[in-house]
Structures are given as C-alpha cells and as structure tokens.
Amino acid sequence: MLTPTLAVARTPLVAVYGTLKRGLGNHHWLEGADFLGNDRLAGVTLYDLGPFPGAKLEPSRGVEVEVFRVDARLLAGLDRLEDYRPRQPRLGLYDRTPHPTAFGHAWLYLYNPDVSGHAAIREGGWWP
C-alpha cells in the first residue's frame, strides 16, 4: 500500500479553496486540469485574509474545496503561485501537504503566517 505522500505524487490531486476555484481570478492556473468534484473537509479551517483565504489544519464543520487532477507542470506552477518552497516549506507563504478527500489524498496548500485577527470560516467556503 502506498503512503499518502507517494499516492499523491503518482496521481497528483490538488484541493483548492480560494482564488483557484472555478470562476475566480486565479483559476487559469488550473487550465488543463481535470475537475473531479467538490468536497467538504472537516479537518481544515479557512481564514479570510481579504483578497484570498488561508487554510489551517484546525477542526471545522466542513469547508468547501474543489478537487482537480493535475500534471507535474501544473503543480509546479501552483507551487510558484503559492510560494511553496519544497526545501524549506515553513519559510514560504504556503506549505503543501497531502490531505484526504472523497477522491483520494490531494495536495492542500496550508497558510504559514499567523492568522490572528482574521475571520475564521469553519463551514462553507470563501468567496471574494
């Protein structure tokens, strides 16, 4: 059996919750990706940071994500957009970790900076 990280690496899925969602400003970064469907993640809380949200691994009543299958090129582009630094993930704006979804383990970008003072979204989704 594959570990979650290896399973995601072989079939890259990504779960998005902010400006990468369909119809929003950064969705073009997912052009060519296969939309698999929507899911709700109870182990994630979103924080409204103004122009975009940030996710933290905190219990919730289920936040909405869209799950896509991406190739290595698209995933590398998302890493650049989200300032994910593979060698020092805690130093970038976001870290990328595998998270269970209804479609299998998917990469989820987690916001590194402090979110004190920002509104938590513990149910539903983020919309600008």
Residue 11 confidence (pLDDT): 62
Catalytically active residues are 82
pLDDT in tens, 5-41: 555 556 699 999 999 999 999 999 999 999 999 999 9
Cβ(4)–Cβ(98) below 8 Å: yes
**pLDDT (0 to 100) of residue 54:** 98
Task: Tell me the per-residue pLDDT of 53-99, one tens digit each, with 9 for 90 and over.
Answer: 999 999 999 999 999 999 999 999 999 999 999 999 889 999 999 99
Give the number of other CB atoms < 10 A from CB of residue 42: 12
Third-level CATH fold of 4-121: Hypothetical upf0131 protein ytfp (3.10.490)
Query: Cα–Cα distance between 85 and 92 in angstroms, integer?
Result: 6
Question: Is beta strand 13-16 parallel, antiparallel or unpaired with respect to 104-111?
Answer: parallel
- Which residues sit opposite 100 in a β-bridge? 105
Under the banding of pLDDT at 50, 70 and 90, the label for residue 44 is very high
With 80 as the cut, is the pLDDT of residue 116 above it?
yes
pTM score, whole prediction = 0.91
β-pairing, 34-41 vs 94-101, is: unpaired
pLDDT at 1 over 50: no
Tally the C-alpha atoms within 13 A of residue 91's C-alpha that lie toward its C-beta.
4
Q: In this predicted model, which residue has the larger pLDDT, 70 or 2?
A: 70
CB atoms within 10 A of CB 12: 18
Confidence at residue 4, expressed as pLDDT on a 0 to 100 scale: 54
Average confidence score pLDDT of the chain = 93
What pLDDT, on a 0 to 100 scale, did the predictor assign at position 89? Answer: 86
